[in-house]
Chains A and B, each alone.
Chain A
């Protein structure tokens, strides 16, 4: 059986006055039915744009210049706008990273929820209203009967985020793409929301893509993780193995930078030296090279492909497999 979602050689570029921003630069991955995968990586590395590409929502002047996106066997890039809209409403639920950019400021929360229930699930006004309140209750908004009548700007950051989650769940999707779904909620509600999504994957076989900077969430809720840097996936593998023995120097640097509650406090946090590249002016060779302590001459010449380095792990690094001593992993 083919996987639920298959992204093949996706290239999404922005054609700006200042140059071509290669936001997604040859990305391929798969998500099976009921599988939970995580995408983590550098800020500005193309995580959100790759999600928007799946949904056909890349904003101008962006364009998918190459690649295929197969969802339930159909190539999404070949669909008409109308069919794509139906997929967005019915099959794929999207939780956008910044709620205020996707919630309509002049409509009440109620209207935003009922609108999609009415159009996509053909519910009556009354049924849609009841369902909308139910959904808000599910995501833990107190006093949903009252709060549903509010406009987005009167809600707290985390409440807006939960409204987004309610909207994504409202259409009974097969795939949920959650782009930083819980950055504005506290850890107890975060746990509640992620448990809710995770239970959908278990009970209804819904697949889940979680994009997150929070390594704790990734460790707890996903099976497989993809690490992105400068528009590319630089490492992938089962989450436990990847965290235990990362196979790309960037992943290693990320894991070392995390302040941890279960370990003693350090004076200064470790971080990866240097600056992330501008995707409009990518250097030749490996984009991470200038910040990498493992770099060799070859890294300046050739872009390393993503290839298997252990039984389950892939890495895009000429130096892989890299061995990590306990001490250097930041423990």
Chain B
């Protein structure tokens, strides 16, 4: 069969239900194979949209996402999603077309060195050199993307090789001698960690994106005693926000409670979290009294930024149950945590997340998120873009389950929200999927509204329209003497008309008194909907750890 037909067989064998892409010259053979392969292909309007959709699909379902682009500009359009998937550890396989082998290196039509361009931002990549290699390369790509620390894998396929006639035998094993992640966690280390935890008087569990697939196990450990839990932006939902042991998010825009608890903790259990600078703030003053247990699948994360006293390498879902068992066996005295909870409760009472409500009908952005929580009964899958709206969404939409919150944290990619919502909705068609976006971010991938309209993908987009690149404006206001340089976007474009032009429904909401009701109506409309929510223009995200400061010096 043709190598591209073998490719289809491989995708099916990997359980691929849907792919996102856009054709061109170099991947014409692949698209010919899609014509009757029985794999759902969603035609996006920009390869970046397809790449982020594959990420959204992966984040919502836990399955490997797949995105395709042709050679040259198709592949370079995928660069941002590839980098985004790398930073946030998202399993996505990117299949790019390449010029025919005899043109390689000649500046052939639509030639770009895709492997070279993407080398520093992939978990792995390979250019097919011989058609017989293709099936194995595809299975290896899925294996590498899915296992260990998940991430993006690029497979670049020269167009002549994809047309070759090859014998196809299903492949059932992958053999990668240089890739053997440690997955189980060392029992001795686990025992040490249990002991440290049983002796801690001011422990905090700091859970990150690596706990999304281990939410039940995380909860089991936390509730074997009253262990306080905080999550990073990436970890939100892995521990229920409605749980009494929840401290709120930590980091730059986290709660004071979570940040103060880190600051005074004597033991921090980091699980699937990577001590990002948005979390540690001033590194030399981060959690000065704490010892660290660090559980992570990636040995390179251990002691990268903060030295770990008890490192444990492996999957959180494998390690946490054994840690729980060892911890329980020690029968730690729950009374030892009482004083700590007194202190935490005092912070919680004194410093709840708050904002000043408007006196008129004006919609405060924080209230917009609360209203959306109410209108969706806290049950939607929420994607977001990047900026103030992202932080308010993280703070005020209280996520109770994993995979309910999908955002771009590490790269902070404006334009992520809508395509990610599209991918999430395709993967989870029975759920309500909303995208909280900003007037700036939304315009970076708006074209995917056409994809949603054409395919009946009913995402509900809520634009928090403040007429500014708000997050940058906030920094200019606070740290650059209010010299607003190139952050004003005005009320352009008209999002209602834009939505209609794309074949979606457009709505505008401007009054806080009818906001929840208006949102409910929008949610009830079939197909894609864009709601332009006009909010207070110059509101700031608080609390905040100012740049260069320590957690205990939070402001606002």
Chain A bound to chain B:
no
